[in-house]
């Protein structure tokens, strides 16, 4: 089966299992950004975003972290013909080796405490690296939020406020109101 057919099949599987995946335009931008980069992704899901980047984006390497055992197993099946490294672990627990320096960090895992993940993984980024954050407009397409969704959205909004107050001499931050919203941060050397 061709790589793009596998991607379509995987996308369908994610819809059937209600696993949220990156939207098409968002993924297109990320795929371009990924070229020649050593990538660390937090939140593999079933592997749709990492397989898309691998197939269409010419990254140097991809390492992706997934906490949920079942998602990890499905991810592993779909990524078996790639050199993508998958770890079945929580991003809060995983410890990169000291030599591991990434060019691009993708935050697409838990939305409840992204600030902690941002702070944890920042030292593992190269000095001219990037951070890509998905769902900055979380639940933008839902009209009646449940209490739980409201609380989670508030946490995302607090994280965005934190990002907006980062030192502009060290971080160049751009927000995009496309699809569910995303943010690209470039570290300034
Ligand atoms: C939005 S989905 C990822 C979708 C995937 N990036 C894609 O576009 O195909 C978020 C994933 O993060 C995982 N996750 C949640 N908490 C996590 C944690 N602490 N560490 C690693 N993964 C986590 C969830 O199990 C879920 O599969």
- Rounded average pLDDT over 73-93: 97
In ligand 1, the atom with minimum distance to the C-alpha of 71 is 27
What was the pLDDT predicted at 142?
Answer: 81
What was the pLDDT predicted at 99?
Answer: 82
Q: What is the pLDDT of residues 9-37, one digit of tens each?
A: 999 999 999 999 999 999 999 999 999 99
CATH number, position 70: 3.40.50.150
What was the pLDDT predicted at 189?
Answer: 86
What was the pLDDT predicted at 140?
Answer: 81
* Domains held by the chain: number: 1
Q: Best substitution site from 16, 76, 89, 110 to test ligand 1's pocket, by max atoms within 8 Å of Cβ? A: 110
In ligand 1, the atom with minimum distance to the C-alpha of 41 is 6
Rounded to the nearest angstrom, the distance between the alpha carbon of 169 and the centre of ligand 1 is 31
Domain span at residue 182 reads 3-187
Query: Phi then psi for 86, rounded to 5 degrees?
Result: -115, 135
* 92 pocket-lining for ligand 1 (C-beta < 6 Å): yes
Q: What is the pLDDT of residues 114-162, one digit of tens each?
A: 999 999 999 999 999 999 999 999 988 888 999 999 999 999 999 999 9
* 22 pocket-lining for ligand 1 (C-beta < 6 Å): yes
Q: What is the pLDDT of residues 92-101, one digit of tens each?
A: 999 998 788 9
Determine how β-strand 102-107 pairs with β-strand 125-134.
parallel
Rounded to the nearest angstrom, the distance between the alpha carbon of 132 and the centre of ligand 1 is 14
Of the candidate ranges 3-7, 23-27, 39-43, 119-123, the one whose mean pLDDT is the lowest: 3-7
């Amino acid at each position: 089966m061709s790589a793009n057919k596998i991607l379509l099949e995987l996308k369908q599987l994610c819809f059937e299992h209600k696993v949220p995946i990156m939207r098409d335009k968002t993924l297109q931008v990320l795929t371009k950004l990924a070229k020649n980069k050593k990538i660390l992704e937090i939140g593999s899901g079933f592997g749709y975003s990492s397989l898309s980047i691998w197939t269409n984006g010419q990254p140097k390497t991809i390492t992706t972290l997934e906490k949920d055992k079942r998602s990890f197993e499905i991810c592993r099946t779909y990524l078996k013909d790639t050199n993508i490294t998958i770890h079945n672990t929580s991003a809060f627990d995983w410890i990169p080796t000291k030599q591991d320096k990434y060019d691009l960090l993708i935050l697409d895992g838990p939305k409840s405490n992204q600030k902690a993940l941002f702070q944890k993984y920042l030292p593992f980024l190269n000095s001219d690296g990037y951070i890509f954050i998905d769902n900055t407009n979380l639940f933008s397409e839902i009209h009646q939020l449940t209490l739980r969704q409201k609380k989670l959205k508030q946490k995302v909004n607090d994280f965005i406020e934190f990002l907006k107050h980062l030192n502009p001499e060290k971080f160049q931050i751009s927000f995009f109101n496309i699809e569910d919203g995303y943010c690209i941060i470039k570290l300034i050397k």
